[in-house]
Amino acid sequence: MIFEKLKKAEDRYREIEQMITLPEVISNNKEYSKLMKEYSSLSPIIEKFREYNSAEKQLADAEELMHDKDADAELKELAEDEYKSAKAAKEAITEELKIMLMPRDPNDSRNVVVEIRQGAGGEEAALFGAELYRMFSMYSASLGFKTEVMNLNDTELGGIKEVTFTVSGDGAYSRFKFESGVHRVQRVPVTESNGKLQTSTVTVAVLPEAEAVEVDINPSDIKIESCKSSGAGGQHINKTESAVRLTHIPSGIVIECDQERSQFQNKEKAMKILYTKLYDMKEREQTEKIAGERKSQVGTGDRSEKIRTYNYPQSRVTDHRINKTVYSLDAFLNGDMNPIVNELIAYETAERLKGESGGN
């Protein structure tokens, strides 16, 4: 079955190769862009398939030489080594192809909207919210992604009650989707004088960014208000009422955006978040109809679930979904999140493979 998929993929790859050279396609930006995206996604699969075919040919040639009556003993010995090497390569490539052919999360290539909110713990939770925002920003930078703040509600001590920001870059959702949930911190707060360990929480929501064409919004369903920016302020404080609050009446969703000087720019950004939230609602409703589908998707679970603990006294980060612990808290908070994120991706891939095997 895997090779039927590969042959179809190769046929489609060759078809696109011809199509993207046609003048009528080149002149149609939308169609050309769509085909190039599909071509790029197929390229690594086809390259790997060609590696497989090469290994298979080496295997057949070596086997033929091993059984050649006219070949001397030394040549047959070399052929046997070549056979073993080609067989191992073919088996390894087959496993890689199985993973590459698995149905991907359709949102994986999208940009994301991330929301961080102060949970239990008062000012200490807000301070940790600021540290999580810094951690995500540094992680984004390490991946070559761009972050942009949409709305920020901070505190006098430098904490964050709430922040909404975007992460832009190919595959942003595939790296950030695992962050949705409750992040718990255990440490002695700087605001405490008795030196007692405190547990606080911060909630994070990660939404795949949506395009306007994917969600139908009736303009009459939106209430638009101008307001002053929230939070303690700082160098970007709005002296005028340039902040915008959008209320989507049917869903009750409220969006605030206050990072730009102009109401028009803030409204434009707020609409982008509204499209994203409505798209997320639609996605979740559809997914709930498919029983058990999300059991193997650790990145898209219940946002009220405690997913990770950051323990300062032990310099420990523990992800509770995969029981993975790293003792490098400082590095993790400085954006070196891959030791856990890569494990989460591997876990999700393994679960998807199990699902594929179960379905065959």
Helix H or strand E segment including 112: strand 112-118
**Mean pLDDT across the chain:** 84
pLDDT digits (tens, 9 = 90+) for 176-232: 999 999 999 999 887 676 778 889 999 999 998 887 667 778 888 888 888 766 555
Examine the pLDDT at 251 and tell me if it is beyond 50.
Answer: yes
Residue whose pair of structure tokens reads 């964050």 in the numeric block:
160
Examine the pLDDT at 139 and tell me if it is beyond 50.
Answer: yes
- What is the structure's pLDDT at 295? 43
Examine the pLDDT at 289 and tell me if it is beyond 60.
Answer: no
| Beta-sheet strand order (sheet of 146-154) | 146-154, 160-168, 112-118, 198-208, 181-187, 306-311, 316-319, 324-326
- 171 torsion bin: left (phi>0), alpha (psi -120 to 50), beta (else): left
Calculate mean pLDDT across residues 119-127: 91
Calculate mean pLDDT across residues 254-276: 83
Q: Which residues pair with 151 in a beta bridge?
A: 164
| 132-141, 218-227, 314-323: range with lowest mean pLDDT | 218-227
- What is the structure's pLDDT at 300? 44
Higher pLDDT, 227 or 265: 265
- What is the structure's pLDDT at 304? 64
φ, ψ for residue 90, nearest 5 deg: -65, -40
| Number of helices and strands in the chain (H, E) | 9, 11
Q: How far apart (Å, rounded) are the C-alpha atoms in residues 7 and 14?
A: 11
- 183 torsion bin: left (phi>0), alpha (psi -120 to 50), beta (else): beta
Q: How far apart (Å, rounded) are the C-alpha atoms in residues 124 and 304?
A: 19
**In the structure, what pLDDT confidence band is assigned to residue 50 with cuts at 50, 70 and 90?**
very high
Q: Which residues pair with 198 in a beta bridge?
A: 187
The answer to whether 187 and 197 are in contact (CB under 8 A) is: yes
CA angle 309, 128, 118 (to 5 degrees): 95
- What is the structure's pLDDT at 292? 47
φ, ψ for residue 167, nearest 5 deg: -125, 120
Examine the pLDDT at 233 and tell me if it is beyond 70.
Answer: no
Q: How far apart (Å, rounded) are the C-alpha atoms in residues 189 and 308?
A: 19
Q: How far apart (Å, rounded) are the C-alpha atoms in residues 281 and 279?
A: 5
Calculate mean pLDDT across residues 120-129: 92
| Cα–Cα nearest to 135, from 175, 193, 84, 89 | 175
- What is the structure's pLDDT at 260? 75
The answer to whether 159 and 118 are in contact (CB under 8 A) is: yes
| 43-57, 62-76, 227-241, 275-289: range with lowest mean pLDDT | 227-241
**In the structure, what pLDDT confidence band is assigned to residue 72 with cuts at 50, 70 and 90?**
confident
Helix H or strand E segment including 14: helix 2-19
With a pLDDT cut of 70, the percent of the chain lying above it is 87
